[in-house]
Structure formats: structure tokens, C-alpha cells
Amino acid sequence: MNLRYLAGSLTMAACLGLNAQRPVVITVHGDRGERTIPKEIYGQFAEHLGTCIYGGLWVGEESDIPNIQGYRTDVFHALKDLHIPVLRWPGGCFADEYHWMDGIGPKEKRPKMVNNNWGGTIEDNSFGTHEFLNLCEMLGCEPYISGNVGSGTVEELAKWVEYMTSEGDSPMARLRRQNGRDKAWKVKYLGVGNESWGCGGSMRPEYYSDLYRRYSTYCRNYDGNRLFKIASGASDYDYNWTRVLMEQVGGRMDGLSLHYYTVAGWSGSKGSATQFTPDDYYWTLGKCREIDDVLRRHVAIMDSYDPQKRIALILDEWGTWWDEEPGTVPGHLHQQNSLRDAMVASLSFDIFHKYTDRLKMANIAQIVNVLQSMILTKEDKMVLTPTYHVFKMYRVHQDATYLPLDIDCDTMDVRDGRRLPLVSATASRDKEGCVHISLSNVDLENDTEITVNLRGLSVRKVSGEMLTSANVTDFNSFEQPDRVRPVPFKGAEIDKDVLRVKLPAKSIVTLELK
């Protein structure tokens, strides 16, 4: 029996409800909380791509669509609710063709450009540095600027940093004042290039390492602003890139990035976002969970050069990548978002938390209207995606103490030979002492009984929220915006130091224990 057939038959059995799971046992080590889950794990990414910026975040002050100083009111409030810690901008691939000086000053004088990476759309630069940094201030999040190394000069990047962060009487600070902003912004995160092995310049790691050293030398710390410099990192399984960067750049970088997409491949169809089989669903979760191994291997390389863990791993692009929605503009990467995407988000966070001694930031691609987005917009309408709801349910883990856990549950074979545990979980304790446990039952057919041993924890009350839907292919549309949304969860009870949970099929739950 070949693997594909085996996977198919097990999936079919699960679909028919023949493979009820054995009871699941989880042990939460409440006595072993040693580190914090950085809130930046819940970071976002906004690129000049499709309708992410224009129409998604920004409509301009003259628009009929309700806005606050040009930012869509509905989107702004929804994002504010997510407690976004950090927002990466302006790309992605766009960043290495972006010339920041085109995006400052009077809007009518800003030059236009062709967005070569993303459908050849004309970019009018009406959303630039001021519009981005002001948005970050309004959202209360850290900006993460992705600098142009591929087609920009050292001088250009150095001046951008000066423009944004210099308080004094420097030429760029004066220019900023002329453009209406007196006080410098605080900019912590600076990416020195993006995907420099590909759209960011098709470089070899040895060459990029030298460029990183050169560009970063001239990105100065002005007036108390301390830059956290992030080198352009590997894609997926390119361990050699990480090795070379660690060897040749080392302590000159504060962070090294990594990109990992849950995607069926880079050529041909990536599959529909909403029309998929159970077999496709389980394959997706297997591919998503493979990031566990990918992180482990990149981390091991970093550990061998930097045992003190001074250099952070920054997963600044992750998420699902499906075929574009039929009828949308090619190259705009506009995709729907189903309960399957929500499951990818919850499983990913459960894994990210495990690596937070090295992994200090993750930025899902992307915030609005592009790839696995939080929000979809169409003219004046807005819809929150199932992924949005997972981010909101999981925000309790931001800056909380990570509590390790063990899971004993069934696994299944999926296409491509991966093994998929049927239950995923993570736990943390917040500053007020509340414990939060997130649980996902990936099984499409079977509810599961979970016994959670709460080692070293004393709790008496449990409450929770659940995200599920009748079908895993369900999504939120402009016609049915609340088809997939969280509801109160009543299936958990505490019995001394044991928590018993009945977790419905294909559901995601976050519990609060007091």
C-alpha cells in the first residue's frame, strides 16, 4: 500500500466517523514557567500589494468610506481590538523596489511607480512613511520598517532612518518637519532587505552577508532611538543561508528572519481557499505543522553559533497561500479564509510558543485582503476572517509566561508522509495569575475527551470561547459575515487539579482558568 493510499484510507475512515480518538491526556507544567511569550509573536505584515494598503487600511481623507484621517474606520477599530504588537511594512518584495522619498511631502507631488512584483499596478505613493508611522502610533504598535537593499543605496536607507528617528537639527529631521511632523518617531525594528536570495536581489548568502554589514553600518541610533536590525533570512528549508549568515554576520545583527508558508508549491495550482477535500485539509495541517521541524533545525544552527541566544529568530512571513479568488486581479493574492485557515493559525501559535527562547517575532502574511488575512474588504464592507478570531482568542498569551505541556493523543498519516497529531495545545499564565489554555481538535468528525493535569496550579473556575462551524470549508462572506465566529464554550469543568474538556470536532477553544 503506498503512502498516499494509506493516508487516503485513514482520512476516509475518519470522515465516516470510524476512527474515534482514544482519550487525550495533557499535562500542563504550571510549576515550570520560565520565560515569556513575546507579544511580537502576534505581529502583522502590511505590503503594498493588491488592496492591502489601498482600499484595505487606507482610503484617504476624501473618501466616502468612513475614515479617521484617511484610515478606514471599520478596519482600524477591528485591528485595535487585536492588540497588534508590531506591524511590518512596506514589503515583502515591494520593499526592495520602494524608494521612500517618493512617499513623503504633498501627495499631488509624489511620483508614481509601477508595482512590478504585484500585478504591475500603478502605485501613487499616497501612503508613505508618515501615513504608516502615524497608523502604528494610533494602533499602539511598534513599526517594523523593511529597508531597500535590492535596488536602493546605502545612503537612501541611512537617510530614511535619520528622517524617521532624528530629533536634532539634522537635514532629514528638517525635511520631516517641513512635511508636518515635528517630533521624531520611535522605530525599533529595521529589516535590512527582504528575501535577498530572491525578489530582494537574487543574492548568494556570502554576498548578502557583506551587503548586510555595509548597509547596517550606516543605519544609526539617533537621539535615544535604538534600532533592532534584522537580516534578511532563509526561506523554509534553506539551512545553508542561516549557517552562512550566522558565521559571517553574527553579532552584527539583532535578528535573523525566516519565511515559511503553508503552500502546496510555487508552480501550478496552490488549491482553492474554500473548496477542498478532507484529504486536502489534513495535508494542509501536516504542512503547517512541519514548521516545528523547520524551526528546530534553524534554531539548532543558530544555537551552535550563538549559545547565549543573543540573536533573535524573526519569522516575518508565515501563513497559508492559496489560489487567488476567481475574478480578482491577478497578482493581488486575494484569497478567502475558512475554518481550515483558523486551524493553521492555532496550530502555528502552539508551535511558535515552544520556540520563544529564540523565536521573538512572527508576522502573518498579511493584515488585510492579502493571503491569510485578518480582514477582507470590498468597497465600504468589511468582514472578519476566521483567522482574525484566532488572533483575538489567542491574544491572552501575549507577554504571558509560557507553561510547557505534554500531549498524549492519536496521530494520523497525511499525504506526503507527514504525521499529524489530532489535538494541539498551548498554555500560559498572565500577569494577573490567570492561566489560559488553547486547545484545537483537528479531527473533522470526532469530538474528543481531554483530561488536562494541572501540575503546580491551583484553579477553581473555568470559562472559555470556541471557534467552529458546521463545515471546515465555511468562511465569512459579505453576505454572511458571522458564519464562523467565536461562541461561549461550556464543555470544560475542573475537578481539583484536573480539567476535563469535551472538545468538539474541528474546533478551537481558549479556556481561562482562575
Residues annotated as catalytic are 195, 317
Considering only the stretches 86-94, 150-158, 262-270, 384-392, report the one whose residues sit in contact with ligand AHR under the rule CB under 6 A. 86-94
Least Å distance, CB 493 to ligand AHR, is 43
Nearest-angstrom CA–CA distance, 371 and 394? 20
Nearest-angstrom CA–CA distance, 393 and 82? 9
Residue where the block lists cell 505543522:
289
Nearer to ligand AHR, 148 or 428 (CB): 148
Query: Given the DSSP bridges, would you call strands 43-45 and 359-365 parallel, antiparallel or unpaired?
Result: parallel
Q: Which of residues 448-507 bind ligand AHR (CB under 6 A)?
A: none
**What is the distance of C-alpha 317 from the center of its chain?**
6
Phi, psi (5° rounding) for residue 40?
-65, -10
DSSP reduced 3-state for 349: helix
C-alpha cell at 426: 498551548
Least Å distance, CB 91 to ligand AHR, is 5
Nearer to ligand AHR, 205 or 486 (CB): 205
Residue 194 binds to ligand AHR (criterion: CB under 6 A) = yes
Least Å distance, CB 274 to ligand AHR, is 20
Least Å distance, CB 331 to ligand AHR, is 11
Residue 286 binds to ligand AHR (criterion: CB under 6 A) = no
Nearer to ligand AHR, 90 or 421 (CB): 90
Q: Which of residues 425-444 bind ligand AHR (CB under 6 A)?
A: none
Least Å distance, CB 208 to ligand AHR, is 15
Residue 92 binds to ligand AHR (criterion: CB under 6 A) = yes
Element at 446 (helix H, strand E): none
Task: Report the 10 Å Cβ neighbour count for 188.
Answer: 16
Instruction: Identify residue 315 by its one-letter amino acid code.
Output: L
Nearer to ligand AHR, 135 or 367 (CB): 367
Out of 50, 56, 91, 386, the only residue in the binding site for ligand AHR (CB under 6 A) is: 91
Nearest-angstrom CA–CA distance, 124 and 133? 18
**What is the distance of C-alpha 9 from the center of its chain?**
33
Q: Which of residues 17-56 bind ligand AHR (CB under 6 A)?
A: 47
Residue 374 binds to ligand AHR (criterion: CB under 6 A) = no
Least Å distance, CB 123 to ligand AHR, is 14
Considering only the stretches 73-81, 365-373, 450-458, 481-489, report the one whose residues sit in contact with ligand AHR under the rule CB under 6 A. 365-373
Least Å distance, CB 496 to ligand AHR, is 48
Residue where the block lists cell 475554518:
339
Nearer to ligand AHR, 165 or 284 (CB): 284
Number of residues in the chain: 514
**Is the Cβ–Cβ distance between 184 and 221 less than 8 Å?**
no
Nearest-angstrom CA–CA distance, 213 and 327? 44
Out of 136, 230, 299, 365, the only residue in the binding site for ligand AHR (CB under 6 A) is: 365
Nearer to ligand AHR, 95 or 425 (CB): 95
Least Å distance, CB 259 to ligand AHR, is 6
Nearer to ligand AHR, 317 or 413 (CB): 317
Phi, psi (5° rounding) for residue 82?
-80, -10
Residue 414 binds to ligand AHR (criterion: CB under 6 A) = no
DSSP reduced 3-state for 386: helix
Nearer to ligand AHR, 264 or 371 (CB): 371
Phi, psi (5° rounding) for residue 448?
-140, 145
Nearer to ligand AHR, 47 or 465 (CB): 47
Considering only the stretches 160-168, 299-307, 363-371, 402-410, report the one whose residues sit in contact with ligand AHR under the rule CB under 6 A. 363-371
The residue number whose beta carbon is nearest to ligand AHR equals 92
Considering only the stretches 63-71, 87-95, 124-132, 421-429, report the one whose residues sit in contact with ligand AHR under the rule CB under 6 A. 87-95
Nearest-angstrom CA–CA distance, 245 and 301? 10
Element at 74 (helix H, strand E): helix 73-80
DSSP reduced 3-state for 162: helix
Helix, strand and coil content of the chain, in percent to the nearest 5, comes to 30, 25, 40
Residue 317 binds to ligand AHR (criterion: CB under 6 A) = yes
Least Å distance, CB 328 to ligand AHR, is 15
Q: Which of residues 93-152 bind ligand AHR (CB under 6 A)?
A: 93
In a 13 Å sphere around the CA of 108, the CA atoms on its Cβ side amount to 0
Question: Minimal CA–CA distance to 462: which of 504, 493, 503?
Answer: 493
Cβ-Cβ contacts under 8 Å for 300 (sequence gap 6 or more): none
Question: Minimal CA–CA distance to 164: which of 221, 111, 93?
Answer: 221
Count of residues near ligand AHR by CB under 6 A: 10
Q: What residues make contact with ligand AHR under the rule CB under 6 A?
A: 47, 91-93, 194-195, 317, 365-366, 371
